[in-house]
Every structure is written in C-alpha cells, then in structure tokens.
Structure 1
Amino acid sequence: MNSSEVAILGFILLFPVVDFINEKYKSNNKIFEYLKIASFIWLPTIFLVYLYSDNKLSVVDFGFHIENNWQNILFISLLFIAIIYLFLLIRSIISSEELRAAIKTKTESFKDLLPETKNEMLVFTLIVSVTAGICEELIFRAYLFTLIDNHMGIVAAIVLSSIIFGLWHIYLGWQEVIRTSVMGAIFCCIYIITGNIIIPILIHIFVDVYSGLMFYFAVRKSDKIIN
C-alpha cells in the first residue's frame, strides 16, 4: 500500500470529523451548502479514480462492467418499478394534505438538508444526489468494502465499511448513523449480488432523489414568495 492510498484511507476515516466541524459553520443558503458538500466528496473521489486508473490501489477491480445475467436484470427492473412508484407517490403527495403533513413530521430532524424551492430541488437532484450515488458507492463499496474483504473476509467488510459509511452522517445524529449504516449494508449486498458498482450507484442516486422529491413536494415554496 503506497502513500497515496494511505492518504485516501486517512481521508475516509477522518471525513466525519471534518464534516462535523463544517456543520458548525454552515450557512443558511442551501444551494451553497449543496455545492460545498458535493465539492468535498468529489475531490477524494477523483483522486481515488485516478489512483485506480493508474494501478496504484490495492483494489484492482471496481466492477464497472454489467453482465447480462438475471441478477442485474432483476435489479434494473426493480429500479424502473421504483421510479414509476415515485411518480405516482408525488401525485398523491400533491393531492393529500394528510400525506404532506406525515412527510413533514417524518423528515423534521433533517429538514435543513432537504430542498424547499425549485432551484434547491434541481441542485439537490442533479448534483447532490448524483454526487452521493457515484462518490459514496465508489469510496465505500467499490474500494473500502473490497479492500477489507481482501484482508478480513466478506462479513467484516460489510460491517466495517457500513459503519464507516454511517459515521459520515454523524452530524445528523446517531439515529441517522444507524439508518445509513443499515443502508450501507444493503448497498454492499447489492454490490455482491450484481457483481458491479453501476447498479448500486443508480439505486443510491434514486434513494436520495426519492427523499429530496418527497420533501420538496410536501413543503415546496414558491420562489416568487421567497424572493
């Protein structure tokens, strides 16, 4: 393991501390915060991909290929069904005050992160969600999970990589750490079953887009009113 890979691992382990400090100096401009978070995550990801392309990582296969097998067909089909369900759910949210109230209550603890205006929704969907899906899956599943698996076995890889993934969200509280750790374990399983990183990336993006759009349509505010 060379010094560059050690630096990447150090960043992965120390990022929760950096993020926790950053949270204390957060501005009230959500779009600015979205772009700042995306930048923080893209920088190490680009470095990681560079090391991977230059054969300077212990992990030599990120699983960028998708084979034509039943596992991949199943997950892609489920993703399409989930997208259709999301559109139907949005229609229900728009027409149901009761459903909007339930979503507001459910997302109260992290509403400061979710989009309320059209511009916030677009940046959250196209930049934050895509960034999280690509960068976090490459860092935690393609790289960290595989690295630990190579040295300690698959169970340890799922547990440790998922816990570290959860700790990246510690600024949201321990309940969110537990929730995202569980989600991390699920993404690990999808990665194992499909044998590629593309499908976990697409599903991760969908999960984040799903959360953002549900909140937006539950509490959306007119840009005209806000401005």
Structure 2
Amino acid sequence: MSVSIWSYSMLVITLAIPLYCVWEGDKTQRNVISGKQTRLEAYASTMVLLWVPTLYLLVGLYGKQISTAELSLVWVGSANNWLGALGVLVMAGYFSLNLVSTNNARDTHSTLEAQLEHVAWLMPRSSKELTCFTLGVSLSAGICEELLFRGFLWFLMSPFLGLWPALLISSLLFGVAHAYQGWLHVVRTSIMGLVLGVILWLTETIWIAITVHALVNIYGGLLAYIVISNSGRKQASCVTKFPFNRI
C-alpha cells in the first residue's frame, strides 16, 4: 500500500477515535446514569463513531487506495482459514453453554454483577436494548474496529515499525479507544487487541478476528442482560414482599 494522501487522511481519522474517546472520557456514562441520554442513544452514537471512519475506509477500498489483501479481507480456503473457523464454532458453543449455565446458576449472579460493575451502565436491560446492543453495537465493533485497528492501522505501520511493534501500538490505541471503561480495562482491552492480532496472523484472514471480536461482545451483552435482569426481578420481588416504602 502506497502512503498516499488518502492513507494519511485515513490515518488521521483512525487516530482521532482513541483521542476522541479520551477527550470525552466518561461523559456518555454520566449522561446515561443521570438520565440525560438513554442507552439506545448511547448505542446509536457509538455506531456512528465506528461506521463513519469505516465507510471512509471502504471508499478507499472501492477507489483502490487499499486492497482486500492489504486489509486481510481474504478467504482462500487454506488449512489456517478452516482451523480458525472451527475455533469460532467451538467458542460459540462454549459461550452458549456458559450462558445457559449462568441463567440456571442464580447463586453466581451477585459475583458476576460485581465484575460487570464498570460497564453496567451501558449493558442492555430490555429486549429492545439487547437487540440493539447485540445486532448493532457488537457487530459494528467487530467489523469496524478490526478493519480499522487490525486491518488498516497494523498494516500501515508494519513496514516502518516491524510487524509486532506495529501490532503492539495498534493494540494500545485500540485499548485507549475503550477509555470509558477505566484505565485498568484499557490495559485489558489492549491485551485483547494483541490476541486478536495473533488470531489474524495465525488464520491469515481478518474474518476470523472480526467474528471472534463480535462473539465476545455479544456474549458480554447477553451475560450482562441475564445477570442484571435477574437482579432487577429479584429486587422487585423483595419490594413486593417487603414494601418498606409504604407508610
């Protein structure tokens, strides 16, 4: 890929994402918690933030500024491709079984709820929110973030920095783009970015990384929905049985 004007502009747009997330900080979180913004509105703004730069990337792809091979948007049917697909099926099966187990093991919900506390404000609570989160936000994040950070950014920097240093930097930027979760989770998300990069490298296609990324997000949303919904029903039941708010 030649470093053209489009490449520079695409780079600026991609780097603007983590910078914007740091600048905004926890503004969206405060707005959702205070009621100034609904979760559905937060989901919509997140998808806009993801798809605007991705559409510009696709414009470059259509205009041959970058190729599908350079973005790793290929599927040649190699052994690595199919092993990656098999791994995705195993992961999907594991997530499904774990969700069923979690739904039945109500005694574990308090522990899980504590673990989800840092993103509880964003997690879906109604069926409409769940649909928007899983089919909208989760799929958008899987597609857009992988194309931007693992596809474009990693490939652009590799000739100048080397394969693995470029992956490290792109993963750190990917982590910073999740600054709204807190800096501890920026580190965790950066590590997740490294893992997704290794998956791309091993499977020789970004499609597997996209699917894994989306599955992880969908699983997180479903898990939170199960835990938070059951917690809400339990609290409602307690209020019904022990209406302390009555005079």
Query: Same fold by TM-score, threshold 0.5 exceeded?
Result: yes
Report how far residue 21 of structure 1 moved: 4.2
Secondary structure, aligned partner of 2:157:
helix
More divergent stretch after superposition (182-191 vs 66-75): 66-75
Query: Is 1:13 aligned to residue 22 of structure 2?
Result: no
| CA drift at 1:39 | 0.8
**Distance in 2 separating the partners of 1:8 and 1:183:** 23
Q: Quick check: 1:42–1:131 contact (8 Å CA) kept in 2? A: yes
State the match for 2:4 in structure 1.
2
Please state if 1:24 is matched with 2:33: no
Match of 1:42 in 2: 51
Greater gyration radius: 2
> Who is 1:131 aligned against?
140
For 1:125 and 1:58, the matched residues in 2 are separated by 29
The Cα of 1:127 is off from its aligned counterpart by 0.4
Letter of the 1:16 counterpart: P
Specify the code of the residue in structure 2 equivalent to 1:120: E
Q: Over aligned residues, Cα RMSD in angstroms?
A: 1.9
- Cα deviation for residue 133 of structure 1 reads 0.3
In structure 2, the CA distance between the partners of 1:83 and 1:57, relative to structure 1 (3 Å rule), is: closer
User: How many pairs align?
Assistant: 223
Q: CA deviation at 1:58?
A: 8.9
- Match in the other structure for 1:151: 160
Deviates more, 1:56-65 or 1:84-93: 56-65
Partners of 2:217 and 2:227 in 1: CA distance? 16
Asked whether 1:141 is paired with 2:150, we answer yes
Q: Displacement, 1:11?
A: 2.1
The one-letter code matched in structure 1 to 2:215 is: F
Identity %: 28
Verify: 1:118 aligned to 2:127, yes or no: yes
TM-score by length of 1: 0.91
SS of residue paired to 2:120: helix
3-state secondary structure, aligned to 1:112: coil
Q: 1:51 aligns with which of 36, 49, 60?
A: 60
Residue 177 of structure 1 pairs with residue 180 of structure 2: no
In 2, are the aligned partners of 1:107 and 1:215 still within 8 Å (CA)?
yes
Query: What does 1:23-102 correspond to in 2, within 5 Å?
Result: 23-25=26-28, 26-27=31-32, 28-57=37-66, 61-102=70-111
Letter of the structure 2 residue corresponding to residue 130 of structure 1: L
* Mapped partners of 1:11, 1:110: distance in 2: 26
Query: Aligned in 2, Cα 1:58/1:72: closer, same or farther, shift over 3 Å?
Result: closer
1:85 counterpart SS class: helix
Counterpart contact for 1:52–1:60, Cα < 8 Å: no
Compute the displacement of 1:181 (Å): 0.5
CA distance in 2: counterparts of 1:13 and 1:61, whole angstroms: 19
State the distance in 2 between where 1:168 and 1:120 align. Answer: 22
Map 1:179-198; keep pairs closer than 5 Å: 179-198=188-207
Structure 1 residue ranges without an equivalent (≥5): none
Q: 1:20 Cα shift?
A: 3.7
Matched-pair contact (CA < 8 Å) for 1:166–1:179: yes
CA distance, structure 1, for counterparts of residue 81 and residue 110 of structure 2: 37
Contiguous gaps of at least 5 residues in structure 2? 237-247
Deviations 1:90-126 (A, max 9, x none): 2212211222112101111111121121111110000
